[in-house]
């Protein structure tokens, strides 16, 4: 079938992207779903900093690539062997499919699936190969999702169904922002009552971490960001304190848990500097490969501190998405607050500029003309 999608043509092109246009809207051919795959009509897709990291070249991927890894949509067709979903069902697309049989999949979410990671790196589906083509040439898939298009064919293991009361705008952010930020708090950080948590970086992932922390009773939440408008929002949502980065170290804060969601070594080091004895630093940001931090192993030992790397919030999507849905449904997790803008697919290059400037939390691409 013919689809329209946002294709990254070249890595590392200089911005502003609204002028240099590294991403083009293209007409592509999408294959029918094969065995173990499904066809999804995309309703909403979120624009994440991990998309920007591909565009600016800090996370190299093969191109041309149809971007987008956070999305929700409606199942339109089932491939052979898919019997546990139905046509018309809303699903969340997640960007780390789990094969369920490799060594990493046996680690309760602590490690990304080996086979899923390999297919993501190759730009293919977990089920093997590519389903996207343009003018006779293959177009690579982004993290098994390629959600910046009106339709996608994905492996069944890349989606989690949600109930009908979960709107598409909420379902979309569950697939990356909430699993990553919320999972960092619950799975990797294991936040406990009475603890102080510092969240560094209030993009979609960091704000999801803050909202998840605030959903717990007896928590002291502190927000850190370079933008005052985001700090003001954090205070409105329930954070007890909010600091600009340069003010954090002299603030006197001592955190039991720090979630670093910036993806820069300076933010990582700032998190270490405010970590209390016995504290945990969970890092979920994706810095450039050459952005290195300085760590004192002696301090870690003497103060009994831990550094935890967490990919996709150390989550298992089919286990954790229903947990976050129930938190949202009960009113404890106001995920609507993550949405800073609703845009058209044609706005995608400008959306990358807004991510780079730090002005965006979560921009949602709305399909079907329902903006």
User: CA of 18: how far to CAs of 13, 25, 27, 254, in Å?
Assistant: 11, 13, 20, 41
Specify whether the CB–CB gap between 131 and 30 falls below 8 A: yes
Per-residue pLDDT at 251: 94
At residue 316, does pLDDT exceed 80?
Answer: yes
> How far apart are the C-alpha atoms of 70 and 364, rounded to whole Å?
10
Tens digits of residue pLDDT in 171-208: 999 999 999 999 999 999 999 999 999 999 999 999 99
> How far apart are the C-alpha atoms of 178 and 160, rounded to whole Å?
14
Q: Which of 225-229, 341-345, 366-370 is predicted with the least confidence, judged by mean pLDDT? A: 366-370
DSSP 32: P
Per-residue pLDDT at 370: 66
User: CA of 103: how far to CAs of 98, 106, 107, in Å?
Assistant: 11, 5, 7
Average pLDDT over residues 306-333: 97
Per-residue pLDDT at 368: 78
Average pLDDT over residues 203-216: 98
The overall average pLDDT reported for the chain is 96
Tens digits of residue pLDDT in 127-166: 999 999 999 999 999 999 999 999 999 999 999 999 999 9
Specify whether the CB–CB gap between 278 and 255 falls below 8 A: no
Q: Taking phi first (over 0 means left), then psi (-120 to 50 degrees means alpha), and beta for anything else, what does residue 175 get?
A: alpha
| pLDDT band at residue 230 under the 50/70/90 scheme | very high
At residue 339, does pLDDT exceed 80?
Answer: yes
At residue 371, does pLDDT exceed 70?
Answer: no
> How far apart are the C-alpha atoms of 100 and 81, rounded to whole Å?
17
Instruction: Output the six-digit token pair for 132.
Output: 């996207």
Tens digits of residue pLDDT in 193-203: 999 999 999 99
At residue 369, does pLDDT exceed 90?
Answer: no
Instruction: Output the six-digit token pair for 65.
Output: 């690539």
Average pLDDT over residues 231-244: 98
Instruction: Output the six-digit token pair for 305.
Output: 């501190």
pTM for the whole thing?
Answer: 0.96
Specify whether the CB–CB gap between 280 and 310 falls below 8 A: no
Domains and CATH numbers, the chain: 2-176+314-366 (3.90.180.10), 190-309 (3.40.50.720)
Per-residue pLDDT at 150: 98
At residue 254, does pLDDT exceed 70?
Answer: yes
Average pLDDT over residues 331-355: 97
| pLDDT band at residue 291 under the 50/70/90 scheme | very high
Per-residue pLDDT at 204: 97
> How far apart are the C-alpha atoms of 223 and 53, rounded to whole Å?
23
| pLDDT band at residue 249 under the 50/70/90 scheme | confident
């Amino acid at each position: 079938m013919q689809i329209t999608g946002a294709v990254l043509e070249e890595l590392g092109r200089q911005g502003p992207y609204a002028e240099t246009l590294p991403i083009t809207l293209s007409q592509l051919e999408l294959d029918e779903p094969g065995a173990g795959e499904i066809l999804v009509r995309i309703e909403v897709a979120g624009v994440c900093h991990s998309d920007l990291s591909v565009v600016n070249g800090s996370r190299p991927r093969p191109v041309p690539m149809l971007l987008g890894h956070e999305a929700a949509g409606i199942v339109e067709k089932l491939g052979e062997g898919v019997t546990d979903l139905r046509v018309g069902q809303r699903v969340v697309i997640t960007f780390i499919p789990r094969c369920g049989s490799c060594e990493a999949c046996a680690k309760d979410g602590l490690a990304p699936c080996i086979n899923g990671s390999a297919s993501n790196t190759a730009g293919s589906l977990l089920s093997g190969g590519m389903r996207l083509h343009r003018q006779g040439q293959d177009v690579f898939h982004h993290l098994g999702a390629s959600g910046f298009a009106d339709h996608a064919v994905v492996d069944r293991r890349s989606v989690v169904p949600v109930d009908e009361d979960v709107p598409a705008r909420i379902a979309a952010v569950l697939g990356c922002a909430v699993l990553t930020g919320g999972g960092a708090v619950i799975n990797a950080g294991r936040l406990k009552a009475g603890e102080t948590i510092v969240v560094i970086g209030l993009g979609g992932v960091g704000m999801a971490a803050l909202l998840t922390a605030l959903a717990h009773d007896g928590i002291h939440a502190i927000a850190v960001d370079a933008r005052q408008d985001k700090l003001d929002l954090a205070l409105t949502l329930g954070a007890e304190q909010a600091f600009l980065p340069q003010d954090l170290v002299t603030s006197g804060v001592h955190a039991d848990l720090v979630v670093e969601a910036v993806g820069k070594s300076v933010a990582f080091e700032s998190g270490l500097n405010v970590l209390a004895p016995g504290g945990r630093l969970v890092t979920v940001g994706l810095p450039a490969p050459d952005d290195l931090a300085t760590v004192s192993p002696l301090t870690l030992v003497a103060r009994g501190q831990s550094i935890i790397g967490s990919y996709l919030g150390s989550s298992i999507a089919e286990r954790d998405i229903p947990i976050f849905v129930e938190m949202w449904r009960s009113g404890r997790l106001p995920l609507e607050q993550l949405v800073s803008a609703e845009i058209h697919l044609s706005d995608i290059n400008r959306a990358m500029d807004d991510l780079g400037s730090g002005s965006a939390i979560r921009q949602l691409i709305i399909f079907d003309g329902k903006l």
